[in-house]
């Protein structure tokens, strides 16, 4: 299934009332379990997960989400998964980046990748760089993929690159200096972080950017994540009261 450019959400996909997240994050968990439940190879779960990702991007575009960042492969996955499974993931990602350019153009998706990308296979690095270059001017949706990514690794790399290392910096200056050396300094903080698959933890994902994110956990395995599940996450977000350490306000602008 390809990304679609149809005009708007159907009745069951229509976004709920209230403010929507500007930056939406996904921990796409459950591909392996989805396959195991069906006595299929884990690679089939990853293939179905890629299909769910296409569906989610289409929905995000319809719902006017500005940025989406998805956790595709952690530094721990990179070190602990079998070589066969990793090679399948690398080939799957490279293939889709090469095949989806027309759809990214149609939907005006600006693709970016974060992580220790230099450790990836050359074909995948080339595909990532080409997709980033060719979509850099698109204005519809920023889609960011975290590959060989870890939140602690990002902070360590930022510090070693010079962020906040100056002892003369104080207070917020240190935070500003560190943020300038993160993998994507232009990335805004997350508003809503969704994790599928039933687990309730961050798993080292976007630790800096999740400081005040609303968290939403669902037992639905990622390949089964549907338009209904997407709408449910947005509806829950619209009910949340976001304080940021100060006066309580709801996401829809009301007083609590």
**H or E element in which residue 80 lies:** helix 75-80
Identified catalytic residue from 6, 31, 77, 224: 77
Contact, 56 vs 225, CB < 8 A? yes
Is 157 among the residues known to form the active site? no
* DSSP secondary structure letter of residue 55: H
Report the distance separating Cα 63 and Cα 20, nearest Å: 8
Is 91 among the residues known to form the active site? no
**H or E element in which residue 214 lies:** strand 214-217
- Direct distance between the N- and C-terminal alpha carbons of the chain, in angstroms, rounded to an integer: 43
Burial class (CB in 10 A: 0-12, 13-18, 19+), 126: middle
Identified catalytic residue from 29, 31, 191, 229: 29
Q: Which residues are catalytic?
A: 29, 77
């Amino acid at each position: 299934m390809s990304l679609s450019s149809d005009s708007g959400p159907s009745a069951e996909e229509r976004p709920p009332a209230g403010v929507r997240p500007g930056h939406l994050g996904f921990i796409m968990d459950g591909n392996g379990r989805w396959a195991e439940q069906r006595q299929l190879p884990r690679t089939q779960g990853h293939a179905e997960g890629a299909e769910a990702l296409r569906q989610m991007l289409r929905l995000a575009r319809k719902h006017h989400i500005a940025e989406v960042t998805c956790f595709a492969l952690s530094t721990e996955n990179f070190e602990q998964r079998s070589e066969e499974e990793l090679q399948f993931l690398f080939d799957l990602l490279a293939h889709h980046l090469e095949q989806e350019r027309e759809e990214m153009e149609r939907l005006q998706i600006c693709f970016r990748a974060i992580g220790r990308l230099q450790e990836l296979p050359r074909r995948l690095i080339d595909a990532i760089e080409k997709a980033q270059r060719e979509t850099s001017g698109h204005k519809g949706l920023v889609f960011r993929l975290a590959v060989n990514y870890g939140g602690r690794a990002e902070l360590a790399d930022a510090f070693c690159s010079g962020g906040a290392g100056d002892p003369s910096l104080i207070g917020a200056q240190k935070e500003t200096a560190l943020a300038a050396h993160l993998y994507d300094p232009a990335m805004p903080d997350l508003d809503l972080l969704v994790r599928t698959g039933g687990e309730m933890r961050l798993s080292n994902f976007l630790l800096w950017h999740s400081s005040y994110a609303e968290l939403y956990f669902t037992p639905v395995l990622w390949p089964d994540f549907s338009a209904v599940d997407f709408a449910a996450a947005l509806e829950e977000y619209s009910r949340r009261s976001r304080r940021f350490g100060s006066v309580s306000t709801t996401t829809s602008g009301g007083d609590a």
